Every structure is written in C-alpha cells, then in structure tokens.
C-alpha cells in the first residue's frame, strides 16, 4: 500500500485528498477524502439547481464579527477583489452611510455568491448524484449561496425577524472572548421559533482572553443544545498565537500563513501532526472520539458505521460523520446537535472551512418544511395545497353542506395557472432605482413583467423589472425560480409581510380561494419610544408626509401618529438608536426638511370597566357627498388569555392589533360567504369593504384614550353592524361606516373614562456582568429601578428557551471541550472555571422601560466598564396610583 504524506509546509489552492494510512493500532480504511477547493477563480456559469442552493443568515450579538466574516466569505468566493473592512467603512454589505459611520449593521443586506468558486473546467460538471456515488461531500461541487447579514443591536430586532422568516439555515457567530452573550441568546430563540437549523462559529480566537473551550461549554449551558466540536483551535506552541484549526471530521491540521490574506493554507494529516505537534495531534484524536460518541447517541446510522469499523473512532469515514451531522441537524429534534467551528475572521483564519460547512450541513430549500399558509381560513402547507392534498372550501353554492371539500375541476384549473408564490420580506427605498421589494420565491418561476396579485391588499401590480441584489449592486433577471430571493422594482403598494402570487388567468385577480392565499406573516413588535417630527415650514408638510410614508414602508416597526390636540406628528420606534437612525434616514437620505424632538417613552392607556351597548349614527356630508351609517359598540378590558382567541362563527370576525382585540359582528349574514354575502349589500359595497371600514373606525378610536390621550391597550372592542338598522342604501359608504364605528367606540370609551389608568412598557432585560459586580447590579435593579430579578446564569437560559429546547437538557459536565491556553491547570475543568470570580454572569430581570433609559452609562460605572445589557418588550403593565401621578406630573412639566 502506498502512503502519500504531505509535509507541514505543503500549500494547496484547489484540492487535497486525504491519504490512506495506518497510525498505531487504528485501522484507517481506504476511503473517499474531503476535497478542499479554495481557489478564487472568477465565477462562471449559473447554478440554479435547488439542491445546490443555500439561503442562510449570519446572526450574532453586536460586534461578534458578522460583517467581518461576511466580507471574507465574499473575498474567498471570488465575489470581491479586496477584503472590506468595518473600521474603514469599505464593506460590501454595510453600504448605508449610517452603517459605515457607526460601524454597525442596521439593515439586513442580501448577497448572492458561489461556494466553492465556480470553475471553467470539466470538474465543475459534477452533479450531486456523482458526488454521492463517489462518496464525496457536497462541497465538492459549486453551490449558490444567498446570504443575509443581519443587525446585532437589539433596537433592530424586527430587521432580524423579517430576515429569519425567509432563511433555510443560519450561522451563529460567537465572540471567543465574551462567549455566549445576551443578544446571542435572544436571536437564537428567535431562530428557534422558525425552526431554522444552525451551526456555530467561535470567532476572535486570536484575541487575548479568548477561550474556545469555555465558549463551547456555554453553548450547551445557554443555548440548549449539544455542541458537536468539528474544529479545534491550533495555537503556536500550544498556547501562543492562533495559527490555524484542527479539522476533527477529516483529522487534518489547517495552517494559515500569518499576516496573509488567508488564501495560502497548509494541510497536514494526522501522522504528520504526530511528528510535528504531538500535543495538538492528541487533542485532535480526543475531539474525534468525542464527536463520534456524541453522534452515536443521537444517530442510529452512526452507531452502525462505528460498529462496521470495529469500534474504532478514528476509522470512521469523514463523509459518514458529515452525513450524520446533517441528519442530526435536519432531523425531527432540530438543533439538539450544534456543529461548532473555530477561527478568527479578522486574521483570515477558518472562513473557508466554515463555508464548506454551510454547503455540507445546512439544508437546501427542498429540505425545509412545507411553508405554512392560510387560505380561506384554513391553515395548511403551501405544497400540500398545490398538490391537491389540502381540503379547502369555497363559497360556491353547490358546495353547501360540504364545507372543507375542494371541487375538483375549478381549483385544478386555477392551480395550473398559478405561476409563482412569493413573500415580500423587506422594502427599501433606493435613491437611484426607487422602491425595491425583496421577496422569497416559495413556488414556481416568477418572470419579469408578470402581473402580481397582492392577497393581503387585494390589488394587482405589474413588476417591470426583476433583480438579484449583490448588496448595493444589482443584476437584471428575466426570471427567478423557487427557493431564491428576488427584488421587484416598480411596485407601488407591496409591504413587508405581503403575499404576492403570479396568476396567468384572464382576470386581474385569481379566483377564490386562490385570492385568499397568504403565507405566514411577519409579526411586528410594538414600538416603545416616540419623538415629534416637525417640518421646517408649512410648504414642507406634504413632502414630509411622503418621506414618512416611504420610511414606514421600509420599516414597519416604525409608526406614525397624529396628536389631535397639538397637531404634532409623532414617530414611534423600538429604541433610542432606532429613532436616531430613522431621523438620519429621513433627513439625510430622503432630504426631508424637518426636525425631530426629544425621544420619549410611549405610554398606553387602559380601561378597567365595561361599557353598555352604545349606538351611533353618522349623518354628514363627506367630500360633498351625503354619508349615513350606524354602528353599535361595547368596550371592556381584554383578559390576557383572550388576546389570541379567534371566533369561529361565520358572521363574526376578530382581529388583534397592538394589544387590542376588535370583534366585528354582522348578524344578518349568517352562513353566507363570498358573492352570496356581497349580494346582501348595495352594489357599491362588499362584505370585505364593510369589515375593513369597521376595523379602521375601531382602530381610529383606540389611537387616543379618553382620559390621558395616550393610545389604548388591552381593550376588547365589539362592533355590531346590523344591515336592517345601520344600512341606509346608497348613502352608506365605506367612509360613513368607518366614521360610525369610530363614533360608537369613542362614545363607549368615554362612558368608562373615569376608570381609565396609565400603562407603561415593562422590558425583559438580560444583563451580563462580572461575578464581582453581581450583587451591586442586582440591588440596583431591585431597589432603585423598581424591577425584579427573574433568574441568574443557567436559570436565565433555561427559562427563556423554547419549549422544544427545554426538553433537551444538556449536562455541561459531559460536553467535550479542549483545554483553553490560559487555563490555570489541565486538571481544572472548564466547568469549574465558569464559576470563577472574574467569570461573566447573566441576570434576567423585568424592569420598567423608564428606568432603563440611559442605563448603560450607569451600568458601566458600577461594573468598571465591563457590564452590558440587551432588552426587549415584555408587556405593558398598569401603574400604581402613586407612580401614575408622578409620571403624569413629569409629562406635564409640573
């Protein structure tokens, strides 16, 4: 048998095949190796196979190195010719002026590239089927990667949420010095709600104080999964500078040229490592044994492979380990196993193997669960419906008595004409191209000039231009297929969360029930800060309103309201930085001639008693036309358990908006739907128009409380529109119905105004401090700031885990982690060091938002500059009488 051994200094640029060899008593069987192709040749061709597509996101705590890692990915893939730098403001993905000025990501940026880089050679003609037959990993062929770099700051949580909504997988980047931070836990939980498979990359291992072993332990303790260590850091001399990583899967050492651009990598096999760095080779073997053992506990196929190799951990084939990791990652219990990698992006170490892991481990669009849709009030999967497996009813009279049954002929025909279905997840106003609508295509092929029907707004728009975005650059497309991200240019009305379908029928809108098809929407969190916005002159008022409309279409987590007393325009957002960025965008990018006032807290008003039935008739001229309509209203406090309840009666419609529930009752409709229901109204009205008008009237009344003029929260509004009492022929317009609903709701609110109270936002706060400052911070939160501590350290992570992760308890003592270079001794375990006095502790607390304004400066003063915190809205809570008086006095300047 011939043994091929490359010396430590061997470099490669395209492919390296692991030799067949024998080390000690281990039986290294003849096996297909892991090809590594890190060449940066200019991409050529076009990979559109969905199996070779990855829609991934980069998620992390702020300043963990997301954008730095993304810039290296683009450079090594051949997409860019130089490495962008966050400090220099030369990054591709952070292209907004505010992002480059502040050195943070504000908007999620989408970019497409290929990994491994596409080649102009015959080897690129390999298919995944060829790769599978040859026992090679998926990274042996080029894949299309649609990557989204997301913000890390808590104020831009919605930007992360709308990106997560359309991802198939994610890379969670961890700071090797700080470990698992508070925002890391929060974004991890958000990804769990969408069931997104994730791999972890421990970054910044070149920094002083970096601890890969400790971070691995924290992954298990705080993220609720078993870290599968796939790489270990390789330090010069065992505890010197980071020089490379040990690949546990292939049992190779990857050594980067120090000070280089990261393209020159030396690869050494295990036998070479045992001669040159025995200590590192021994640790690599320990890591391989631990990895095989961990996978064997969760994957039966790995147990079979292990037994086939005579229970030799080192003899298990790399491809078998990769496939086992993939099965664990994409299986029924997602993220029970967390593949963990190592590197230092700023030093250009570890990024190429991370890209290999993205291709080898994360799913293609075809491997993700069927996207959830709502169609005609039936919840099912999109593909389930398109394949005719879902039972969805129509309003056809012939189907009476067969609710839930689809007539075969008509839907079959309409489904054949459904060309594509997409979800708009982001809207951006571009100075050169106009409004850009980012959308994930979930089915079919969407063509340029296609007519798109918006099922949320019930309108049609034609898309004249179709783009694929490469950060701030764009490439024109004739069509975009399912599984990819497209950008529409020229849409005037589409918003974030809207479902867009392309239908080739003769009609402007598709037939029922296709016109009700909606993909799972993106939830918008409530704003908690607000600031007044004033134009510099009356002549600038119209332009300001236009600019604000653009800003709100871009970012739905912003809100604009009008103060009826002062006439001021109020802009509300998620945090102080959020509103500062909105101001910069409004004035700097949209050129609005306006100024913003001080940022203030958005309080809410609540009621504590129920009103009687209040009936109002609106009878006035609207725009020179007589309008007349009536409505009945009842208001009462909304119990927490009622917030998500939905009424199933056919003539009753409920919707929860901003913590209030509005129930609309149309008693004359009965079981009639669709055209039969529309026939009950005059020709100029339809049931949908009436429902929308009543909803708009109720929301208008709730925008301003009867006692303190703050928006109302926790109110249950019941609106009743009786066709016999409240409909007055052609005089009853949608505007009149909306006005009648507003008057009736306002009247009911005034009836209970004496019992109104004031509510304030209470925040979920996660504070990271050193052990020595723990007592001071806990005392400050509990006494001075009126909050209460929920838990510390491990309790915080477990209490905030999702239900699926709570069932996966992780014994930290059983987690394998290599010894960190600066550990006091090899006998002292990483688990024990976690409780050292200089170790970071996490405090989970609930604190009123008012007490958290400017808290960072105070926290740093009592922690010696080492404390950090993140917070998110938990709920609105009614104040006590004394606190209410104090807050009102402060607001009124008394």
Read off φ and ψ for residue 226, nearest 5 degrees.
-90, 115
Helix (H, G, I), strand (E, B) or coil at 860: helix
Taking residue 672's Cβ as centre, other Cβ atoms within 10 Å add up to 18
DSSP letters, 286-311, are HHHHHHHHHHHHH-HHHHHHHHHTTT
Look up residue 264 and give its DSSP letter.
-
In 362-497, alpha helices (H): 382-386, 409-416
Whether residue 474 contacts residue 487, with contact meaning beta carbons closer than 8 Å, is answered with: yes
Which residues are known binding-site members for GTP? 60-67, 149-153, 203-206
Do residues 168 and 364 lie in contact, with contact meaning Cβ atoms separated by under 8 Å?
A: yes
Q: Are 523 and 466 in contact (CB under 8 A)?
A: no
Residue tagged 């303790």 (tokens):
221
Listing DSSP states for 417-452 in one string gives TEEEEEEEEEEEEETTTEEEEEEEEEEEEEETTPEE
Buried residues in 614-626 as b, exposed as e (16+ CB within 10 A): bbbebeeeeeeee
Helix, coil or strand: residue 868: strand
- Those residues whose C-beta lies under 8 Å from the C-beta of residue 15, and which sit 6 or more positions away, are 35, 36, 37
Residue 613: Cβ-neighbour burial (10 angstroms; 0-12, 13-18, 19+): exposed
Spatial separation of the C-alpha atoms in residues 673 and 852, rounded to whole Å: 50
Please report how many Cα atoms fall inside a 13 Å half-sphere around the Cα of residue 809, on the Cβ side: 4
Task: Name the β-bridge partners of 764.
Answer: 846, 872
Residue 712 CB contacts under 8 Å (≥ 6 apart), including other chains? 604, 605, 606, 607, 660, 702, 703, 704, 705, 749
Q: Which of 252, 253, 250, 300 is nearest to 34 (CA)?
A: 250
CA contacts within 13 A on the Cβ side of 736? 25
Parallel/antiparallel/unpaired status of strands 451-454 and 459-462: antiparallel
Residue 439, CA distances (Å) to 8, 110, 294, 398 in order: 47, 11, 39, 37
Instruction: Identify whether the C-beta of residue 128 lies closer than 8 Å to the C-beta of residue 94.
Output: no
- Tell me the three-class secondary structure of 611-651, residue by residue: CCCEEEEEEEEECCEEEEEEEEEEEEECCHHHCCCCCCCCC
Contact 780, 862 (CB under 8 A): yes
DSSP string across 600-614: EE--EEE--S----E
Q: What is the DSSP letter of 257?
A: P
Residues annotated within the binding site are 60-67, 149-153, 203-206
d(CA 138, CA 729): 67
Q: Is residue 89 classed as helix, strand or coil in its secondary structure?
A: coil
CB of 329 closer than 8 Å to CB of 197: yes
């Amino acid at each position: 048998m011939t043994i091929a051994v490359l010396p430590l200094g061997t470099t490669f640029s395209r492919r390296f095949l692991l030799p067949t060899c024998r080390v000690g008593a281990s039986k290294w069987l003849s096996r297909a190796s892991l090809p590594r192709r890190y060449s940066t040749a200019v991409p050529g061709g076009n990979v559109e196979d969905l199996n070779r597509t990855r829609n991934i996101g980069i998620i992390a705590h702020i300043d963990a190195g997301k954008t730095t890692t993304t810039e290296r990915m683009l450079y090594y893939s051949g997409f860019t010719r130089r490495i962008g730098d966050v400090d220099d403001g030369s990054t591709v993905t952070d292209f907004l002026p505010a992002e480059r000025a502040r050195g943070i990501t504000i908007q999620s940026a989408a970019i497409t590239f290929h990994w491994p880089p596409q080649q102009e050679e015959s080897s690129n003609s390999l298919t995944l089927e060829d790769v599978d037959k040859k026992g090679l990993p998926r990274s042996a062929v080029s894949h299309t990667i649609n990557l989204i770099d997301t913000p890390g700051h808590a104020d831009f949580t919605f930007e992360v949420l709308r990106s997560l909504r359309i991802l198939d997988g994610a890379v969670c980047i961890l700071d090797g010095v700080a470990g698992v931070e508070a925002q890391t836990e929060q974004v991890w939980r958000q990804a769990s709600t969408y069931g997104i498979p994730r791999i972890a990359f421990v970054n910044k291992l070149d920094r002083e104080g970096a601890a890969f072993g400790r971070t691995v332990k924290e992954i298990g303790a705080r993220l609720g999964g078993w870290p599968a260590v796939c790489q270990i850091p390789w330090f010069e001399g065992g505890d010197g500078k980071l020089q490379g990583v040990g690949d546990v899967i292939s049992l190779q050492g990857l050594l980067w040229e120090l000070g280089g651009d990261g393209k020159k990598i030396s690869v050494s096999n295990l036998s070479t490592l045992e001669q040159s760095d025995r200590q590192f080779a021994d640790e690599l073997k320990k890591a391989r044994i631990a990895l095989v053992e961990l996978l064997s506990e969760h994957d039966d196929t790995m147990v079979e492979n292990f037994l086939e190799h005579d229970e030799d951990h080192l003899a298990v084939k790399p491809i078998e380990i990769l496939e086992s990791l993939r099965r664990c990652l994409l299986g029924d219990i997602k993220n029970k196993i967390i593949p963990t990698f190592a590197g230092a992006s700023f030093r250009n170490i570890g990024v190429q193997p991370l890209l290999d892991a993205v291709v080898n481990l994360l799913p293609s669009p075809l491997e993700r669960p069927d996207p959830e849709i709502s169609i005609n009030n039936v919840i099912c999967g999109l593909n389930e419906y398109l394949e005719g497996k879902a039972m969805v009813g129509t309003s056809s009279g012939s189907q009476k008595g067969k609710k839930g049954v689809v007539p075969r002929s008509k839907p079959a025909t309409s489904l054949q004409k459904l060309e594509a279905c997409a979800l708009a997840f982001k809207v951006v106003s571009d100075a050169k191209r106009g409004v850009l609508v980012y959308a994930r295509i979930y089915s079919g092929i969407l063509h340029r000039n296609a007519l798109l029907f918006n099922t949320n707004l019930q309108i049609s728009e034609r898309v004249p231009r179709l783009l694929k975005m490469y950060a701030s650059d764009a490439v024109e497309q004739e069509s975009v297929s399912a599984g990819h991200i497209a950008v529409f240019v020229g849409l005037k009305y589409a918003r974030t969360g809207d479902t867009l379908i392309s239908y080739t029928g003769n009609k402007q809108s598709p037939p029922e029930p296709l016109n009700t098809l909606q993909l799972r929407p993106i939830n918008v969190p409530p704003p908690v800060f607000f600031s007044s916005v004033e134009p510099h002159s009356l002549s600038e008022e119209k332009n300001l309103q236009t600019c604000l409309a653009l800003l709100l279409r871009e970012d739905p987590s912003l809100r604009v309201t009008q103060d009826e007393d002062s006439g001021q325009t109020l802009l509300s957002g998620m945090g102080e930085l959020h509103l500062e960025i909105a101001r910069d965008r409004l004035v700097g990018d949209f050129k609005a001639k306006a100024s913003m006032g001080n940022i203030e807290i958005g309080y809410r008003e609540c009621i504590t008693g129920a009103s009687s039935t209040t009936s109002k008739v609106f009878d006035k001229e609207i725009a020179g036309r007589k309008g007349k309509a009536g409505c009945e209203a009842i208001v009462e406090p909304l119990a927490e358990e009622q917030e998500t309840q939905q009424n199933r009666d056919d003539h009753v419609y409920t919707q929860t908006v901003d913590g209030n529930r509005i129930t609309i009752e149309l008693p004359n409709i009965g079981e009639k739907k669709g055209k039969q229901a529309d026939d009950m109204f005059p020709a100029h009205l339809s049931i949908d128009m009436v429902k929308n008008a009543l909803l708009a009237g109720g929301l208008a009344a709730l925008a301003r409380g009867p006692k303190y003029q703050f928006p109302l929260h926790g109110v249950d509004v019941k609106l009743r529109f009786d066709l016999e009492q409240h409909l007055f022929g052609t005089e009853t317009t949608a505007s009149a119905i909306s006005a009648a609903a507003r008057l009736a709701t306002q009247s009911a609110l005034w009836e209970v105004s004496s019992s109104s109270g004031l509510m304030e936002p209470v925040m979920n706060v996660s504070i990271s401090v050193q052990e020595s400052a723990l007592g001071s911070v806990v005392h400050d939160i509990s006494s001075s700031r009126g909050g209460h501590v929920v838990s510390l350290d491990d309790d915080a992570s477990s209490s905030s885990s999702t239900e699926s992760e709570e069932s996966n308890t992780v014994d930290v003592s059983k987690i394998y982690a290599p010894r960190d270079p600066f550990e006091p001794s090899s006998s002292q375990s990483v688990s024990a060091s976690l409780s050292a006095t200089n170790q970071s502790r996490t405090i989970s607390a609930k604190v009123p938002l008012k007490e958290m304004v400017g808290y960072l400066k105070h926290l740093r003063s009592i922690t010696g500059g080492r404390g950090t915190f993140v917070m998110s809205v938990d709920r609105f809570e009614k104040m006590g009488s004394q606190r209410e008086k104090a807050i009102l006095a402060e607001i009124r300047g008394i």
